[in-house]
Structure 1
Amino acid sequence: MRILIPLVGSRGDVQPGVALGLELERRGHDVMIGAPPNFVDFVARAGLTARQFGPDVHALYSSPEGQRALAAGSTFKLMSMVSKQMSEYADRMDDELIDISKGAEMIVCTTFSEDRSAIVSEALGIPMVTLHTYPCRKNSLYAPPGSVPANWTVPGVFNRVAWSAIERLRTVVFGKYLNNLRGKLDLPRSWASTESTLAGRNVPELQMYDPAFVPGLAQEWGSSRPMVGFLWLPQSARAAIGESAEDHAEVLQWVDGGTPPIFFGFGSMPILDFGSVLGMIEHICDRTGERALVSVGGAHLDPALRNTSDNVKVVDTLAHDLVFPHCRAAVHHGGIGTLFESLRAGLPTLVCSVSFDQPVWGHQVEKLGVGAHVPFTKLRADTLGSGIDTILDPQMRLRAEAFGARLQATGDGVPRVCDIVEKTAAR
């Protein structure tokens, strides 16, 4: 079977699709990955066929406009920015998806590619499965990201009404672009929401996160939206993309040369002054006697800033699953992929959320007692120091280790997703 997996977003969005594609190919299927231009080589090195699809989101977030929107911490400002990018890229994105879908017999898409994928699968008359990286459908337990402060407790009916409003807003904002695609494929115009369209077609909506992260949601949704757990990238693929233990020998040697360090990963955080942030980290290390491993995530950094104290090491990107087991705690933006890796390793985690679903996950680590949360807009020396003091508490470490053991027990979600994909194709 020829399966198309169109992926949009950052590495956290692309990597699970690669893990899935590798297992589907192992089972004998022919897989095509649609990937943003900055990840085509990544996919190819992992061993899959890749074609360009969608914009370079990293370039958007790294732009002055993107950095301002991220620093504001507003989901609505970010949605406006993404909408503007879509208006500039929409026709090209349509044409890329139409091109790479030629000959496809099934589409397996993700949260950020499901709108267009639903239209293409309808036009081709082929089955579809969608994968969600956070709770993005109507429910009574969790409000839409950005609709209310994450730590507010609101009635279930409010959450359901808010989700309906958000879905309608998405349809209004993006509907004209989606109808342009429908026109290119000779389909009639439609203003139905993607949620209602997929429900009407009985498309499986798989949740790529562990039910332990969202207590009660699996019970509310039942079998209609199964939680399959996280999708793990196999070690063979890690080695192929240059993330083996040998590739990390120098970093691991430093990590193991002293007490386990605190990991700091900036990810998509709009750090405009790395020198100031590194100064805060060094001050905290001096105060607490801790060591710090700082990943700047590929961002440009003045070489002079890499000359830190003996207790602080600055690196670019690294493989979290290799390094986290050697660390004591983690501080990062709260993207679900990084959050899974830090908690799977049993690390108490401080989430410095920027926007989208990150404040939700930040609140959840606090609520579950396995971490702390400081919104990026409130990140200062005192709030960062207080958050680190919280996650270094021995009792929190015990709770995080127990939570990590639970995630380990759930295991890799890739085989579960593949089973559902094959079952759906056979219907």
Structure 2
Amino acid sequence: MRSLLAFTGSRGDAQPGILLAHALRERGHDVTLALAPNLVAFARDHGVPAVPFGRDTADLLHAQRTDRRFISRDPRARLRALYDLQRRGVPEQIEDLRALAPGHDVVVAGMAGEEAAESVARAVGLPFAAVHFFPIQPNSAVPVAPVRWAGHLPGFVHRAGWSVLARARAAALAAVLPVTTGPSAASVRIQAYDPRLFPGADEQLPGPFVGFPVDSNGFFTSAEVSEPCTIGTHDQRMPPFGEAVDEFSDESSNGTAISDPRMPSSTLDSWLDEGSAPIYVGFGSMDVGNPTSFVATLREVCARRGRRLLLASGWATIGPGFEDAVAIVGQVDHARVLPRCVAAVHHGGAGTTAAALRAGVPQVICSVQADQPYWGHALRRLGLAATIPAKKLTAERLDALLDQVSRPDVILRTASYAAGFATDGVERAADAVEALAGSPDAPELLHSAGRQL
């Protein structure tokens, strides 16, 4: 089987694709892994060949953050900006994937760029699988608005709301997606999350439900260094420890990010060994506002609580380094580090949320966009986390939220959930891809992939 895997977006979007590519290669299949250009090196550094497609993630984030229409008082301007954002980079994705697709037996994509990849698969008559990290398809089980009161609305309102959102996205992309004709090949939506977090979703959405695509065999853990922050072209300067240069401000050379150097994982291990369990904070590729103020807030809260701080600065350009009470690195391996932390404060990306659930760590989810607020409210309803929009975060509010998740009942629930966490999501997803591509054992594989968690 020759499979084309197309996973654009941030590292959180790409990492499941890398794991799936590795699993399929281990089974003897030929795999072409296509990633956003700035993440190709990340896959190659872990021994998985990859090729670039579409536009650099940092370019897209830069364009989004600098588009003043998003903060316009005119709702029509904000809507036009949102429509333009949906289209941005799609023509480049289609062009690159059309060049890659011939000779493959199946196309697989993540949620980001799903429509572009499916249009190419249909154009060349290949089966298509989309890996969904969140229940995005119309349903009545998941509240359409990520707010407390939405849980009291009737189910038909949620289904109607999700349908409206789906039609709006389709309308935004209609101008850039090619029109395809002829019969469609088989397709499947692989639900790559735990449906227990969204009760009733598995009864309404097509499967298979495979569980979170986590690194179950230490594939990423085996790296000798903690992962650096990488965006676009790197400036040679580095701000002092704990200080920052905003990667999208005029203070940064060429409007590009500054990357911290690779740090030996043994250095972080030593810091963890030498003191009490820290509070982990990481916002990935999300905007943290003023990075200097952000670090000052975290220092204040952790000092007030008598806890050490471990900050994974991600794509914020914050100077790395180590003090007795504070460690700042670019990226960490969640599977290795989170079990050694007392709490996790993060943006609510599906991958980070899953890693913290697996580690049994109470969470404070400070959502920024997309599916992040939904994860926050889903985990809050189950008593596994507290949540707040990141833009409303203050030292006092963060301290209060950490008080909430430090209660014994929350600690017990998170530990209980971790004890039953399913770690075979990647293998199940690989089963589903094999089945879709026409394996002789397709019915058995598809049944196995979708078995009850």
**TM-score, scaled relative to structure 2:** 0.81
| Cα-to-partner distance string for 1:384-424 (whole Å, 9 max, x where unaligned) | 111111111122111111111121xx222112111121122
Asked whether the 8 Å contact 2:123–2:181 carries over to 1, the reply is no
DSSP-derived class of the 2:310 partner: strand
CA distance in 2, matches of 1:247, 1:82: 41
Residues 1:225 and 2:207 aligned together: yes
Of 272, 275, 288, which aligns to 1:255? 272
Q: Distance in 1 between matches of 2:186 and 2:52?
A: 29
1:194 is aligned to: none
Within 5 A, what are the aligned runs for 1:258-407? 258-301=275-318, 310-407=324-421
Mean CA deviation greater in 359-368 or 210-219: 210-219
Query: Per-residue CA shift, 1:363-394, capped at 9, x if unaligned?
Result: 01111101100111211122111111111112
Q: Residue type of the partner of 2:154? A: P
CA gap 1:371/1:91 in 2 versus in 1, 3 angstroms: closer
Find the counterpart in structure 2 of residue 411 from structure 1: 423
Distance 1:335 1:148, change over 3 A: closer
Give matches, 1:86-97, under 5 Å. 87=87, 89-97=89-97
Q: Does 1:112 align with 2:109?
A: no
Structure 1 residues 143 and 34: CA distance shift in structure 2, 3 A: same
Classify the secondary structure of the residue corresponding to 1:271. Answer: coil
* 2:125–2:185 Cα contact (<8 Å) kept: no
* Stretch deviating more after TM superposition (346-355 or 417-426): 417-426
Aligned length: 399
Residues 229-251 of structure 1 show CA distances to partners (whole Å, capped at 9, x for unaligned) of: 1122342444358459x941111
Label 1:58 to 1:67 Cα distance change in 2 as closer, same or farther (>3 A). farther
Q: CA RMSD in A?
A: 2.8
CA shift in 2, pair 1:42/1:68, >3 Å: farther
Deviation of residue 25 (structure 1)?
A: 0.9
| Amino acid paired to 2:139 | N
- Which shows bigger deviation, 285-294 or 60-69? 60-69
CA distance in 2, matches of 1:162, 1:325: 38
Distance 1:158 1:260, change over 3 A: same
**Secondary structure, in 3 states, of the residue corresponding to 2:193?**
coil
Q: Comparing 147-156 with 332-341, which one deviates more in the overlay?
A: 147-156
Amino acid at match of 1:295: A
Residue of structure 2 equivalent to 1:149: 147
Higher mean displacement: 81-90 or 164-173: 81-90
Q: Distance in 2 between matches of 1:331 and 1:274?
A: 16
Does the CA contact (< 8 Å) of 1:7 and 1:53 recur in 2? Answer: no
Q: Is the 8 A contact 1:46 1:241 kept in 2?
A: no
CA drift at 1:169 = 0.8
Counterpart in 1 of 2:56? 56
- Which digits, 9 at most, give the CA deviation of each residue in 1:339-366, with x for residues without a partner? 1111110000000000110000010111
1:312 and 1:131 map into 2 onto residues whose CA distance is 37
Identify the range of structure 1 (58-67 vs 315-324) with the bigger mean alpha-carbon deviation: 58-67
Work out whether residues 353 and 359 of structure 1, in 8 Å CA contact, stay in contact via their aligned partners in 2. Answer: yes
Structure 2 CA distance for partners of 1:87 and 1:400, relative to 1, 3 Å? closer
Q: CA deviation at 1:102?
A: 2.3
8 Å CA contact retained: 1:268, 1:333: no
1:18 aligns with 2:32: no
Asked whether the equivalents of residues 224 and 264 of structure 2 are also in contact (C-alpha less than 8 Å), the reply is no
Which shifted more, 256-265 or 121-130? 121-130
Structure 1 range deviating more: 62-71 or 132-141 = 62-71
Distance 1:375 1:210 in 2: 23
**TM-superposed deviation, 1:80:** 5.5
Match of 2:248? none
Q: Which has the higher helix share?
A: 1
Equivalences for 1:2-41 in 2 at 5 Å? Answer: 2-41=2-41
Tell me the amino acid that sits aligned with residue 436 of structure 2.
T
Aligned ranges 1:110-189 → 2 under 5 Å: 110-144=110-144, 147=145, 149=147, 151-153=149-151, 154-179=153-178, 182=179, 187-188=180-181
For 1:67 and 1:251, the matched residues in 2 are separated by 37
Is contact 2:226-2:331 (8 Å) kept? no
How far does residue 141 in structure 1 lie from its aligned partner after superposition? 1.3
Identity of aligned residues (%): 33
Equivalent residues of 1:204, 1:225 under 8 A apart: yes
On the 8 A contact 1:46/1:238 being kept in 2, the answer is no
- Residue matched to 2:218: 235
Deviation at 1:330, TM superposition (A): 0.5
1:212 aligns with 2:196: yes
Q: Which amino acid aligns with 1:210?
A: D
Q: Per the alignment, do residues 360 and 80 of structure 1 end up closer, same or farther by CA in structure 2, a change over 3 Å counting? A: farther
Amino acid at match of 1:390: Q
Structure 2 CA distance for partners of 1:90 and 1:16, relative to 1, 3 Å: closer
Which stretch of structure 1 is more off in the superposition, 416-425 or 318-327? Answer: 416-425
For residues 12-49 of structure 1, the C-alpha deviation after alignment (integer angstroms, 9 at most, x for no partner) is 11110111111111111100011101011112222233
Partners of 1:393 and 1:52 in 2: CA distance: 46
Q: Give 1:272 shift.
A: 2.7
Q: Distance in 2 between matches of 1:315 and 1:168?
A: 41
Q: What's the counterpart of residue 258 of structure 2? A: none
The offset of 1:286, in angstroms, is 2.5
Which SS does the other structure have where 1:231 is aligned? Answer: coil
Distance 1:247 1:121, change over 3 A: same
Residues 263-318 of structure 1 deviation map (CA, whole Å, 9 limit, x = unaligned): 01122332232222222222222322111111111421257xx686x322222211
Residues 50 and 57 of structure 1: CA distance in aligned 2, closer, same or farther (over 3 Å): same
Q: Which 5+ residue runs of structure 2 have no aligned equivalent?
A: 228-262, 443-453
Matched residue type, 2:435: K
Distance of aligned partners of 1:317 and 1:148 in 2 relative to their CA distance in 1, 3 Å threshold = closer
Residue 57 to residue 391, structure 1, CA distance change in 2 (3 Å): same
User: In 2, Cα distance between the equivalents of 1:344 and 1:60?
Assistant: 31
Cα offset for 1:91?
A: 3.3
**C-alpha distance 232-307 of structure 1, shift in aligned 2 (>3 A):** closer
Question: Is this contact kept in 2: 1:281–1:292, CA < 8 A?
Answer: yes
Distance 1:67 1:384 in 2: 29
In 1: Cα distance, 2:68 partner to 2:218 partner: 37
Higher mean displacement: 6-15 or 41-50: 41-50
| Contact preservation (8 Å) 1:70, 1:270 | no
Distance in 2 (alpha carbons) for counterparts of 1:6 and 1:16:
11
